[in-house]
């Protein structure tokens, strides 16, 4: 059943930027077509460019065509008539006054503000909204969605939290991490807590180790200057990968209808993450390959002597009763052989094998695929037909796309719909973000250490394989289990 959001004004700061064109507008359009955006809601774009309402509508129509392909003219016309533009800077109190007047003219009291802008504008936007009195109104909701990166280390995240909370209450804040809205990430909770067979084996009694991988085949895609300041740890480790780890490791919350009940459990996991020693992490940087793919240092906007890591693999440990002794191996990199994100739980090997043949038998594996082809596979041992007992590997597979005959929503669609409904379950709380920065601090503070090189289009640096081999384990790849 589709639920319609309340009538409101959805304000996008940085509406002329890439995120608005690629993600926000397509998501709002999908909600509109689905009947989940109130037919009386308005979208107000805010940016520095010299545009008017019509100019913004044309721009967004072109962007929709480019990123969505299939756009229905009647649906678009119904949405376009409710799109408005306010030109303004991020540091100018007068511009926020103009925004306030425009919002008053439009007559919607409930507001969502979205910072689709560079991180240095987050504080000026918060202060600008507060100076114009837009941050609060009795009897109405005022919600602020803050994009990542939220700070660039623990100190800056603390300062940002403090500045934002001077004007907005925590319950008005929605810190985005789009990985939480991926179907498989959400399904982890249903798999674990909606079935009785998984939870009893979900611990160090049965699980040998956990692997979390986010591999990308793309490079920095014209975002060289941004990436130089962030690198793989700030870009995806601190947020996406640790959020997935928290979902795998958290204790069952009493309910999923209360955002804090879920977030309390995730924070406990993030706080229990043990410090990584330099010995347990590998940082890498891609170099050009023979086909002419350029190396990271040759990308536009990148220092030709850059030490920024585009790959990291690290071992985390959790100091809890359930997980003590179970390593969590986490890795991510740009310009790898293919795009794939997955979580693999590797179970212990059978304690005794009563058949002839090679021992030990491989441990069972539960593979949760986020990208591509969202789904779940259970890999286990089975008898190969024929005389005697020969054991081979088989798989039980479930794929979202073929099983449910439904479109899989883009994570931004889910997230915007949740903001409109006031549901913060899939958003990060202040203490959660800070716990994440604390956990990755040892990976950020590596002095002058140079990342090891790996070839663009490869599986990553060989040193990452050694990290596991030292503990007689290997990274999961189809066919390796």
| Active site (catalytic) residues | 240
- Rounded to the nearest whole angstrom, what is the least distance from the CB of residue 339 to ligand BG6 in the complex? 7
Report in angstroms how near the CB of residue 43 gets to ligand BG6 at its nearest. 23
Closer residue to ligand BG6 (CB): 19 or 391 = 19
Among residues 41 and 341, whose Cβ is nearest to ligand BG6?
341
| Cβ pair 153, 442 in contact under 8 A | no
Which tokens go with 66? 């480019």
Binding site for ligand BG6 (CB under 6 A): 216, 235-236, 341, 371
Question: What would the two tokens of residue 106 be?
Answer: 């439009």
Task: Give exposure, 214-240, as e/b (b: 16+ Cβ within 10 Å).
Answer: bbbeebbeeebeebbebbbbbbbbbbb
237 close to 330: Cβ distance less than 8 angstroms: yes
Q: Where are the beta strands (DSSP E) in 348-407?
A: 365-371, 375-384, 390-399
Q: How far is the CB of 440 from ligand BG6 (least distance, A)?
A: 15
Q: For helices 411-421 and 25-33, what crossing angle results, to 10°?
A: 70
Separate counts of helices (H) and strands (E) for the chain:
15, 15
- In the complex, the smallest distance separating the C-beta of residue 408 from ligand BG6, rounded to whole angstroms, is 12
The answer to whether the peptide bond before residue 149 is cis (omega within 30 degrees of 0) is yes
Residue 225 Cβ vs ligand BG6, minimum distance, rounded to whole Å: 13
Whose Cβ is closer to ligand BG6: residue 333's or residue 363's?
333
What's the closest the beta carbon of residue 204 comes to ligand BG6, in angstroms?
A: 29
Is the Cβ of residue 185 or residue 315 nearer to ligand BG6 in the bound state? Answer: 185
Residue 312 near residue 333, CB atoms below 8 Å:
yes
CA 88, CA 234: separation in Å to the nearest integer?
30
Distance of CA 34 to the CA centre of its chain: 24
Residue 316 in tokens? 């985390």
Residue number of the CB closest to ligand BG6 reads 235
Indicate the residue among 16 and 341 with the shorter CB distance to ligand BG6: 341
| Tokens (6 digits) for 214 | 């986010």
The CA distance from 344 to 377, in Å, is 10
Q: Which is nearer to ligand BG6, 219 or 363 (CB)?
A: 219
What would the two tokens of residue 366 be?
């539960």
């Amino acid at each position: 059943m589709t639920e319609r959001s309340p009538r409101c004004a959805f304000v996008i700061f940085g509406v002329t930027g890439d995120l608005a064109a690629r993600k926000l507008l397509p998501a709002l359009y999908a909600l509109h077509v689905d009947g989940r955006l109130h037919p009386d809601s308005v979208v107000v774009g805010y940016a520095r460019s010299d545009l008017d309402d019509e100019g913004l509508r044309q721009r967004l129509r072109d962007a929709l065509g480019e990123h969505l392909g299939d756009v229905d003219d009647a649906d678009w016309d119904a949405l376009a008539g409710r799109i408005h533009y306010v030109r303004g800077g991020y540091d100018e109190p007068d511009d926020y006054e103009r925004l306030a007047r425009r919002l008053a003219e439009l007559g919607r009291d409930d507001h969502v503000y979205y910072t689709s802008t560079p991180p240095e504008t987050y504080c000026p936007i918060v202060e600008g909204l507060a100076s114009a009195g837009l941050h609060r109104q009795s009897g109405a909701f005022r919600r602020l969605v803050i994009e990542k990166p939220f700070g660039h280390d623990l100190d800056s995240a603390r300062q940002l939290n403090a500045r934002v909370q001077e004007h907005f209450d925590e319950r008005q804040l929605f810190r985005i991490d789009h990985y939480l809205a991926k179907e498989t990430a959400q399904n982890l909770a249903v798999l674990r807590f909606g079935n009785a067979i998984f939870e009893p084996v979900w611990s160090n009694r049965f699980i040998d180790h956990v692997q979390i991988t986010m591999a990308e085949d793309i490079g920095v895609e014209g975002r060289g200057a941004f990436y130089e300041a962030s690198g793989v740890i700030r870009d995806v480790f601190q947020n996406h990968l640790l959020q997935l780890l928290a979902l795998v490791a958290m204790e069952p919350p009493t309910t999923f209808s209360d955002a804090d009940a879920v977030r309390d459990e995730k924070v406990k996991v993030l706080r229990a993450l043990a410090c990584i020693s330099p010995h347990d992490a590998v940082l890498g940087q891609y170099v050009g390959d023979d086909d002419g793919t350029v190396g990271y240092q040759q990308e536009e906007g990148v220092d030709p002597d850059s030490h920024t890591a585009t790959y990291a693999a690290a071992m985390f440990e959790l100091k809890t009763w359930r997980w003590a002794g179970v390593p969590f191996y986490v890795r991510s990199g740009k310009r790898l052989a293919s795009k794939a994100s997955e979580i693999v739980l590797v179970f212990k090997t059978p304690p005794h094998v009563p058949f002839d043949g090679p021992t030990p038998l491989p441990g069972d594996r539960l593979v949760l695929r986020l990208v591509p082809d969202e789904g779940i596979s259970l890999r286990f041992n089975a008898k190969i037909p024929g005389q005697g007992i020969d054991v081979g590997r088989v798989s039980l597979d479930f794929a979202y796309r073929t099983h449910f005959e439904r479109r899989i929503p883009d994570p931004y669609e889910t997230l915007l719909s949740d903001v409109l409904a006031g549901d913060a379950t899939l958003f990060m709380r202040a203490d959660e973000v800070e716990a994440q920065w604390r956990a990755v601090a040892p990976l950020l503070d590596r002095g002058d250490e140079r990342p090891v090189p790996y070839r663009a289009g490869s599986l990553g640096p060989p040193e990452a394989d050694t990290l596991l081999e030292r503990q007689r384990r290997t990274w999961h790849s189809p066919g390796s289990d």
